[in-house]
Amino acid sequence: MKILGIETTCDETAAAIVAHDEAGGASILANEVLSQIAEHAAYGGVVPEIAARAHVEVLDRLIDRALDRAGIGLRDLDGIAVAAGPGLIGGVLIGLVTAKTLALVTRKPLLAVNHLEAHALTARLTDGLAFPYLLLLASGGHTQLVAVKGVGQYVRLGGTIDDAIGEAFDKVAKLLGLGYPGGPEVERMAESGDPERFALPRPMLGRREADFSLSGLKTALRIEAERIAPLAERDVADLCASFQAAITDVVVDRARVALRAFSGVAGHPTALVAAGGVSANGAIRRALAALAGEAGLAFVAPPLQLCGDNGAMIAWAGLERLRLGLTDDLTVPARARWPFAEKPAAAVAV
């Protein structure tokens, strides 16, 4: 089975081909990603109209390139998968209309994939992981702890009540005059900083629900930065290190609570999994690996090029859906908002 995956929900235009056969498992035949970071950097964030125009300009060439790399033609595909949301609606529409057109002319099945579900299923592409597992999905727009029970079966154990983790990294980077996107910049500065110089709060630590709240942490950092301004490079490094240490403590504590709640909704997990752009962060990865070790679980996080947005995860989620007969017709809508995980029916005992 060979599936084309198209991703245009935010600031990456991506097209990939993923193949699967029962004997050989899954393989990525092509994974083309064009980041628009340069176009948005001057604005310190993604500008939706610029993003949509950039997707239009490059998507057809990117799909051609993916097919070339994989050494196949459109006729060799078994399905066309596309992220139909959630995301910036202009970009989502461009990917979806392209996918619908390709499905129509080639008469191949259309697979409208939820972008978050694609992040959630990536560990099955990379590691062949079995259900159920606990997922920390952390990106620029989303922060959730989810029990992944099966394709289309996701129970939300917690989430953020204000900023997403990636968003907090991005805001802190902006505040400290670092570049966009902020996560990698903050992580780089933190490497030479002292994580104990600033005593930043650890919001929600010890709470029984696996929720996050990060806006207070960001404000505490701003107050410290203003107190010692003007900032020398050393100060910025120490602020980044202190911030990253605080977030890491919060992530581990919240994931520990979710692990305790997991068995009530999904039985025994096969692993603790991290996905989304923030899962590229080395400090967070190491801390989650230690937590998984404590609980006797494997820790699985995608290789760096599959942490951020990419087409391979969309193709894989499409492939999983196709195997279950979950295809879509040409009326399927583009969605700016599209929650993928349900809250548990009853309160989960911890």
Q: Report the interface residues with ligand KG4, using CB under 6 A.
A: 10, 139-141, 166-167, 169-170, 181-184, 187, 276-278, 280-281, 308-309
Residues 297-316 that bind Zn ion (CB under 5 A): 309
Our CB check for Zn ion shows the closer of 114 and 139 to be 139
Q: Does 11 bind Zn ion (CB under 5 A)?
A: no
- The site partner of 132 among ligand KG4, Zn ion, none (C-beta below 5 to 8 Å per kind) is none
CB atoms within 10 A of CB 208: 11
Residue 73, annotated as binding a ligand: no
Our CB check for ligand KG4 shows the closer of 238 and 309 to be 309
- The site partner of 122 among ligand KG4, Zn ion, none (C-beta below 5 to 8 Å per kind) is none
Residue 79, annotated as binding a ligand: no
Our CB check for Zn ion shows the closer of 35 and 106 to be 35
Q: In the 3-class helix/strand/coil scheme, how is the chain assigned residue by residue?
A: CEEEEEECCCCEEEEEEEEEECCCEEEEEEEEEEECHHHHHCCCCCCHHHHHHHHHHHHHHHHHHHHHHHCCCHHHCCEEEEEEECCCHHHHHHHHHHHHHHHHHHCCCEEEEEHHHHHHHHHHHHHCCCCCEEEEEECCCCEEEEEEEECCEEEEEEEECCCCHHHHHHHHHHHCCCCCCHHHHHHHHHCCCCCCCCCCCCCCCCCCCCCECCHHHHHHHHHHHHHHCCCCHHHHHHHHHHHHHHHHHHHHHHHHHHHHHHHHHHCCCCEEEEECHHHHCHHHHHHHHHHHHHCCCEEECCCHHHCCCCHHHHHHHHHHHHHCCCCECCCCCCCCCCCCCECCCCCCCC
Our CB check for ligand KG4 shows the closer of 79 and 91 to be 91
Our CB check for Zn ion shows the closer of 144 and 270 to be 144
Residue 183, annotated as binding a ligand: yes
Q: Does 117 bind Zn ion (CB under 5 A)?
A: no
Can you tell me the distance from the alpha carbon of 348 to that of 350, in angstroms, rounded to the nearest whole number? 6
User: Which range in 138-146, 151-159, 165-173, 201-209 contacts Zn ion by CB under 5 A?
Assistant: 138-146
Residue 55, annotated as binding a ligand: no
Can you tell me the distance from the alpha carbon of 336 to that of 343, in angstroms, rounded to the nearest whole number? 20
Residue 205: CB minimum distance to ligand KG4, A? 20
- The site partner of 141 among Zn ion, ligand KG4, none (C-beta below 5 to 8 Å per kind) is ligand KG4
Can you tell me the distance from the alpha carbon of 204 to that of 207, in angstroms, rounded to the nearest whole number? 5
Residue 349: CB minimum distance to ligand KG4, A? 32
The tokens describing 187, both together, are: 């992580």
Our CB check for Zn ion shows the closer of 193 and 276 to be 276
- The site partner of 159 among ligand KG4, Zn ion, none (C-beta below 5 to 8 Å per kind) is none
Our CB check for Zn ion shows the closer of 204 and 313 to be 313
Residue 184: CB minimum distance to ligand KG4, A? 5
Q: Does 139 bind Zn ion (CB under 5 A)?
A: yes
Residue 200, annotated as binding a ligand: no
Residue 141, annotated as binding a ligand: yes
Going by the annotation, the residues of the binding site for Fe cation are: 115, 119, 309
Site residues for Zn ion per CB under 5 A: 139, 309
Going by the annotation, the residues of the binding site for substrate are: 137-141, 170, 183, 187, 281
Going by the annotation, the residues of the binding site are: 115, 119, 137-141, 170, 183, 187, 281, 309
